[in-house]
Amino acid sequence: MTALFEHSPWIEARADALASCGDRHADLMAVVHAATAEEKLALIRAHPELAGKAAIDRTLTEASAAEQASAGLDRLTEAEYAQFHTLNAAYRERFGFPFIICVRLTDKTGILAAMEARLAQTRETEIATAIAQIGEIVRLRLRDLGLEDAR
């Protein structure tokens, strides 16, 4: 089965141990929102950089590889790859975690624009944005599994 959250099975396990509200996505995100600050950072840090080392050496999860490919990140020019590398490094240096965006809802031009714009945000805003984007990623993964309606 596809992992809904990158290298973070604790979220599904905790959700399974609680009474369900009848909406799997809401149940999962309630666990994320109730997590400690350290757990939220660990969840964010479990995600790979876009067009980063894991994509190059093919160690992405199957879901991440397909998602990055859907946005064309597996077909970057040398200049685009360099731009992603520079922005990934600047973002990680500023915030201490990788840039997270639901790549299936945009394209490489939109991703690059978002990376540049979000570098100006506060760390707290970026943590909240990353969690929201992870929620969108999970919503689409649930939909792919037939467990959630598309919204």
The predicted-structure confidence for 74-130, as pLDDT tens digits, reads as follows 888 889 989 999 999 999 999 999 999 999 999 999 999 999 999 999 999 999 999
What residue spans of 57-122 are helical by DSSP H?
62-70, 78-95, 108-118
**pLDDT score at 151:** 44
Query: 121 is written with which tokens?
Result: 């945000």
Using alpha carbons only, give the angle 92, 96, 97 rounded to the nearest 5 degrees.
70
Tell me the domains of the chain and their CATH numbers.
9-144 (1.10.3330.10)
> Does 57 or 61 have the greater pLDDT score?
61
d(CA 118, CA 113): 9
Establish whether 7 is a catalytic residue: no
DSSP-based helix, strand, coil % in the chain, nearest 5: 65, 0, 35
Percent of the chain's residues with pLDDT above 70: 90
List the catalytic residue out of 25, 33, 47, 85.
47
d(CA 107, CA 14): 33
User: Would you say residue 56 has pLDDT above 60?
Assistant: no
Query: 59 is written with which tokens?
Result: 């160690």
* pTM higher than the cut 0.85: yes
